[in-house]
């Protein structure tokens, strides 16, 4: 099915809302300077609010899909794209919960780098969905490529972070906790790569 010309459809608006919420979430995470458990709890509460907003957008898209006979692209593609974007947000909420559960009140440099990559990925996703909303499909693959590059960089960062963790940390409990956090942060970028693959599929089907 091809896009029709004209103003943005309701599904484009909803997808833009989801991606905008994701971008705001990752920007919030990058900007936070956590130094005590109270700030950590506030951080988690704010991330949960972003995640709840994302769930509401998913609910709205699902409802609209059930009520709409003709969609601008295949309904399965709209839902898959929305769900993969939501998976990214769920991953961020999971990491925030781990930080609070393990009382990590001082982020390592590797954690900060992961958060920065998450923000860069969210920006690429937002820009790609913005292009999708105005039917500029030919410009989307460049953003998909950047997402895949970020995923490769996050793989390298995970290996470096874990290697450094085992080399410098003596507390076995902390090693287990931090390794889980690093792997979960890398998992967020893996979810972003799934968004890229879905975008590539949409472009191929509708070119």
Residue 3 lies in a domain: no
Q: Which CA distances in Å does 125 have to 9, 45, 195, 196?
A: 18, 24, 8, 8
Instruction: Give residue-wise pLDDT tens across range 42-83.
Output: 999 999 999 999 999 999 999 998 887 787 888 899 999 999
- Residue 186 resides in a domain: yes
Rounded to whole angstroms, the Cα distance separating 49 from 155 reads: 29
CATH number for position 159? 1.20.58.220
pLDDT, mean over the chain:
93
Q: What share of the chain in percent tops pLDDT 70?
A: 96
Is the model's pLDDT at 7 over the cut of 70?
Answer: no
What mean pLDDT do residues 2-25 have? 80
Total domain count, the chain: 1
Report whether pLDDT(102) > 70. yes
pLDDT of residue 195: 96
Question: What pLDDT score was predicted for residue 196?
Answer: 96
Instruction: Return phi, psi of residue 72, to 5°.
Output: -65, -35
* Domain boundaries, position 24: 10-206
The candidate with the shortest Cα–Cα distance to 167, out of 178, 156, 181, is 178
* pLDDT score of 3 more than 80: no
pTM higher than the cut 0.85 = yes
pLDDT exceeds 80 at position 1: no
Structure tokens at 180: 């889980």
Q: 194 lies in a domain?
A: yes
79: closest CA among 203, 206, 164, 202?
A: 202
């Amino acid at each position: 099915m091809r896009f029709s010309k004209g103003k943005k459809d309701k599904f484009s608006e909803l997808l833009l809302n989801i991606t905008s919420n994701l971008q705001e979430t990752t920007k919030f995470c990058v900007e936070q300077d956590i130094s005590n458990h109270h700030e950590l709890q506030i951080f988690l509460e704010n991330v949960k609010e972003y995640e709840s907003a994302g769930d509401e957008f998913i609910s709205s898209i699902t409802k609209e899909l059930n009520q709409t006979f003709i969609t601008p692209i295949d309904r399965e593609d709209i839902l898959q794209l929305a769900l993969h974007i939501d998976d990214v947000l769920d991953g961020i909420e999971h990491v925030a919960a781990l930080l609070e559960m393990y009382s990590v009140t001082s982020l390592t440099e590797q954690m900060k780098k992961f958060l920065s990559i998450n923000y860069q990925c969210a920006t690429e996703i937002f820009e790609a969905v913005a292009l999708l909303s105005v039917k500029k499909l030919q410009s989307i693959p460049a953003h998909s490529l950047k997402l895949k590059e970020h995923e490769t960089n996050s793989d390298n960062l995970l290996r470096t972070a874990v290697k450094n963790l085992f080399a410098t940390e003596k507390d076995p409990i902390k090693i287990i906790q931090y390794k889980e956090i690093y792997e979960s942060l890398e998992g967020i970028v893996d979810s972003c790569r799934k968004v890229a693959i879905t975008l590539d599929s949409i472009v191929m089907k509708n070119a």
